Amino acid sequence: MSTVENELHKLGLALPAAPGPVGSYVTAVRTGNLVVTSGQLPWQGDKLAFTGKLGSSLTVEQGYEAARLSALNGVAQLKAIVGDLDRVRRIVRLEGYVHCGRDFRQHPQVLNGASDLLNAIFGERGKHTRTAVGIHEMPLDAPVQLVLWAEVE
């Protein structure tokens, strides 16, 4: 088992199957030493674990969990591309789109659900850049959408 998956197991998490697309595209592409994923949602099997808007129908704690789960799906996409997560040299970038209601300001706390997971399982290699913007209407009513960019061997 890879070091990264071992860290996941310590957290009581198992890597899910990489979720498929919801349109005519693919879920991850490698170009040179870079891998980029499509937008990742909080899929749990074939349904979204959360739907709705932060600050309206969802709490920051639920948003944190949704971000964590979306990041876990993103890591599954990376594994599907590189085969072994120990071949990930660096998480380069996390794009964070947060579905939210009026006057919501806690995007960083929500996205920490993804960042904390990446930092925990990849260690130094998990230190990533981040964007955090609010989205007024999201596909499938998903509370977050994330994109991972990684440098791989």
The site for its own copies (CB under 8 A) is made up of 21-29, 31-34, 36-39, 55, 90, 92-95, 97, 100-109, 111-112, 115-116, 119, 127-141, 145, 147, 149, 151
- Minimum distance between the CB of residue 78 and its own copies, rounded to whole angstroms? 12
Q: For residue 62, give both structure tokens.
A: 């639920």
- Minimum distance between the CB of residue 142 and its own copies, rounded to whole angstroms? 10
What sign has the CA pseudo-torsion 102, 108, 111, 113? Answer: negative
Q: Which is nearer to its own copies, 87 or 93 (CB)?
A: 93
Q: Are 63 and 133 in contact (CB under 8 A)?
A: no
What sign has the CA pseudo-torsion 110, 5, 121, 130? Answer: negative
- Minimum distance between the CB of residue 2 and its own copies, rounded to whole angstroms? 21
Beta strands in the chain (DSSP E): 28-31, 34-37, 43-44, 47-48, 88-99, 129-135, 144-152
Q: Which is nearer to its own copies, 7 or 141 (CB)?
A: 141
Q: Which is nearer to its own copies, 1 or 34 (CB)?
A: 34
Q: For residue 24, give both structure tokens.
A: 């005519």
- Minimum distance between the CB of residue 56 and its own copies, rounded to whole angstroms? 11
Q: Which is nearer to its own copies, 16 or 101 (CB)?
A: 101
